Every structure is written in C-alpha cells, then in structure tokens.
C-alpha cells in the first residue's frame, strides 16, 4: 500500500506540531512496510527531492506567488481583502496543492 502525505512542514523544515506528527507517522508506516511519499513546502537549505529516513520527499518550490489577480474569479472575497503577504501565502498554498496533485 502506498501512502501519500500532504503537509506544509516536514523535516528539514519543522515549525510546530504538524511537522513532528508527520515525521513520526511516516516513520511508523515505513516500519510497517508501507511505501510513503510526502509533499511539502521547499525551504532554502533542503533538496527539492530526497529520501528522508525511508520516506520519499518532494519539496515544491512556491514562494511569494500572489495569484489573486490571475485567479480572482476563484478566490473568495474575504481573501481578496487580505494583506499582500496574506495573498502571497494563499498563492503559495494554492500552488503547492496544484503542483502536488499533478505529481500523483
């Protein structure tokens, strides 16, 4: 069985509990003999693709993508009122999801 995780943080980049949870869960699935792939956000010091403790990791490069003008018809009104940094964050997460899904 192949298991795929989509998480914002995964080693080498951990901010809080989500990254720690994902690291420990993927490690347990590997011990059970499962194939595990993780799609996560890229950080400057991490490779875009590697194997971390038996887990295939894809770290997608998406940074400061303000897609609010390009995708204005799909973005909720509330998001359009966000600050520029908030819109970039939304764009990063949106693009991360699209790129991750395209690799499946």
pLDDT tens digits, one per residue of 43-96: 777 888 999 999 999 988 777 666 666 666 777 788 878 888 887 788 788 888
**pTM for this entry:** 0.75
Q: What is the pLDDT of residue 12?
A: 81
Q: What is the pLDDT of residue 71?
A: 67
Q: Does 25 have pLDDT greater than 90?
A: yes
Q: What is the pLDDT of residue 53?
A: 94
Pairing of strands 55-60, 35-41: parallel
Write out the residue range of the structural domain in which residue 76 sits: 2-102
CB contact set of 46 (below 8 Å; sequence gap of 6+): 12, 13, 59
| Sheet hosting strand 2-6, strand order edge to edge | 2-6, 35-41, 55-60, 49-52
Q: Count structural domains, the chain.
A: 1
């Amino acid at each position: 069985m192949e298991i795929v995780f989509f998480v914002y943080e995964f080693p080498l980049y951990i901010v809080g509990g989500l990254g720690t949870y994902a690291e420990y869960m993927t490690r347990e699935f590997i011990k059970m003999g499962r194939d595990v792939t993780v799609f996560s956000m890229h950080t400057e010091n991490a490779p875009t693709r590697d194997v971390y403790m038996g887990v295939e990791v894809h770290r997608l490069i998406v940074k400061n993508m303000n897609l609010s003008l390009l995708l204005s018809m799909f973005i909720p009104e509330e998001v359009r009122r966000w600050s520029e940094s908030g819109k970039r964050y939304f764009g990063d997460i949106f693009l991360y999801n699209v790129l991750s899904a395209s690799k499946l």
